[in-house]
Structure 1
Amino acid sequence: MAIPAEHNPPSRKRRIAGDRSVSAQIFEFIRDAIVGMEFQPGQMIPETALAEQFGVSRTPVREALIKLSNIGFVDVLPQRGTYVSRFSMEKILEARFIREALELAVISSVAEQADDALIQACEHILHEQQLAADNDNALAFQKLDDHFHQTLASRTQYPRVAQLIESEKAHMDRVRNLSLHISGQYRHVLEQHRAILEAVKSHDPVAARQAMSVHMQDVYKVLTLIPQEHPEYFTDE
């Protein structure tokens, strides 16, 4: 399958904030562009254009690309350049399996010990997620989706759990973004999140686990539709 020609990002200059490292900010920008499909699978990442856009040398851009390579978002090909990784259904399904196991354990634990602060935090996230859905802002909706799950995971007594969920879901992020454009998907996700939160508010670990299982299984069903609609985004392996 042919690799598309290099695509230049928008030419406007981007401001570097002083509160975080340059490479971290460039990493976030490129990651969002990949998840939001501005940079599509198989497309070359324009190192020079990105460095010019941010007004920096190519070093922090390369540092960001190395980090993206480590989580499977880009492929670095010697003497050829850096390209957005194509989807691997094998890796997506493996990540979904691992994430489901972790999420079910998390929600069972959290439901037993949830306090008012956690519930209020989650309710605020779901309110913001509804606004993102109303504005058809898939990237914002997905970030709030992640925030909801990370907020729950952070309430376990095991700090690495949230990190593991974050690392595993990377393989699913772009496909999840595409899935949000399927009719009714915003509503489905919000309904499932609300069911999860209601079980947490009731301190019912069995109901919470069931609600999370329904949510994870729905994610699986939607993921299987994407290869049919966009076969060009997937590896031939």
Structure 2
Amino acid sequence: MSNAPVNYLDKAAEYGKSISYDRPASGQIYGFVRDAIVSMELLPGQMISETALAAKFGVSRTPVREALIKLANLGFVEVLPQRGTYVSKFSMKNILEARFIREALEVSVVSYLAEHTQPEVIAAAEAIIAEQKLAAEADDALLFQSLDDKFHQVLANHTGHARVAEKIEEEKAHMDRVRNLSLHMRGQYKRILTQHRAIIRAIKAGSKDEAISAMSIHMRGIYKVLDTLPQEHPEYFQ
């Protein structure tokens, strides 16, 4: 991954053309900036210009400011008085806290699915795994991560509890930037595919204990990543 920042403002200008004025602009701008941060198009420590974003989106500074305040409240940006707004650097505390919360939720999801096995969720998950294999072979890290998100969303959505999927999405965002970097580590694609297959095998077999074990192993993979990334990219960490 290059250390040169992608010019996200060019993308903002294109995105701005499709902003729907039937919905609050601040929410749409929040989504765009959040995605740019998570995908590492906006790098940790990089400055975000409120004025430039407003100009590219074709809106006043008010919805941009509202979006940045929301991102600051969630820990994705830091507002420094008299200096500007910057993408927050990685916080070990936030990453580990998010992992803890997410594991609790994800384990509950697979526990439920193992006890309420549904052929459609098995089929959907296996199809995603097949797509992930192709993405891994093409070394398409962003597509692989997008499919990883889809895999977990499919499982959560089949519990019938909408807020579970929403909460997982919210918490995992703090881990996603690290995951983006980690996919370039040797063997990471294979490791994740193996873990996804183990999760689905356990659900298909109706084994609650095995499903819980497989998901716990999957969630704790972040520890291995955190052993190496701070040394490889110290500039991204607090």
Partner Cα distance (2:25, 2:122) in 1: 35
In the superposition, relative to structure 1, how do residues 182 and 206 fare at CA in structure 2: closer, same or farther (>3 Å)? same
Aligned 1:132-211 pairs, distance under 5 A: 132-156=135-159, 158-211=161-214
- Once the two structures are TM-superposed, the CA of residue 10 in structure 1 deviates from its matched residue by 4.4
Structure 1 outlier segments of 4+, above 6 Å: none
1:24 aligns with 2:27: yes
- Once the two structures are TM-superposed, the CA of residue 157 in structure 1 deviates from its matched residue by 5.1
1:73 aligns with 2:83: no
1:131 aligns with 2:130: no
**Structure 1 residue identity aligned to 2:132:** Q
CA RMSD of aligned residues (A): 2.3
**Structure 1 residue identity aligned to 2:91:** S
Partner Cα distance (1:58, 1:131) in 2: 42
Partner Cα distance (1:62, 1:137) in 2: 33
CA contact (8 A) 1:23 1:64 kept: yes
The TM-score normalised by the length of structure 1 is 0.86
Partner Cα distance (2:61, 2:142) in 1: 27
Equivalent of 1:42, from 42, 45, 51? 45
* Higher helix proportion: 2
In the superposition, relative to structure 1, how do residues 36 and 207 fare at CA in structure 2: closer, same or farther (>3 Å)? same
CA contact (8 A) 2:8 2:36 kept: no
- Once the two structures are TM-superposed, the CA of residue 158 in structure 1 deviates from its matched residue by 4.2
- Once the two structures are TM-superposed, the CA of residue 189 in structure 1 deviates from its matched residue by 0.8
Identity among equivalent pairs (%): 62
Q: Structure 1 regions of 5+ residues with no counterpart?
A: 1-5
1:9 aligns with 2:14: no
Deviations 1:111-154, CA, capped at 9 Å, x for gaps: 11121221222123223333333333323322221221122122
**Structure 2 residue identity aligned to 1:116:** P
Q: Structure 2 regions of 5+ residues with no counterpart?
A: none
- Once the two structures are TM-superposed, the CA of residue 57 in structure 1 deviates from its matched residue by 2.3
**Structure 1 residue identity aligned to 2:236:** Y
1:54 aligns with 2:57: yes
Deviations 1:150-197, CA, capped at 9 Å, x for gaps: 221223354433233222222211111111111221121112111111
Q: Which moved more, 1:37-46 or 1:13-22?
A: 13-22
Partner Cα distance (2:132, 2:53) in 1: 30
Q: Which moved more, 1:156-165 or 1:171-180?
A: 156-165
Partner Cα distance (1:8, 1:17) in 2: 19
- Paired residues in the alignment total 230
In the superposition, relative to structure 1, how do residues 38 and 183 fare at CA in structure 2: closer, same or farther (>3 Å)? same
- The match for 1:117 is 120
Partner Cα distance (2:27, 2:133) in 1: 28
Q: Which moved more, 1:116-125 or 1:128-137?
A: 128-137
Deviations 1:24-64, CA, capped at 9 Å, x for gaps: 33223222221222211111112222222222222222222
Equivalent of 2:224, from 208, 221, 224? 221
In the superposition, relative to structure 1, how do residues 135 and 27 fare at CA in structure 2: closer, same or farther (>3 Å)? farther
Q: Which moved more, 1:167-176 or 1:130-139?
A: 130-139
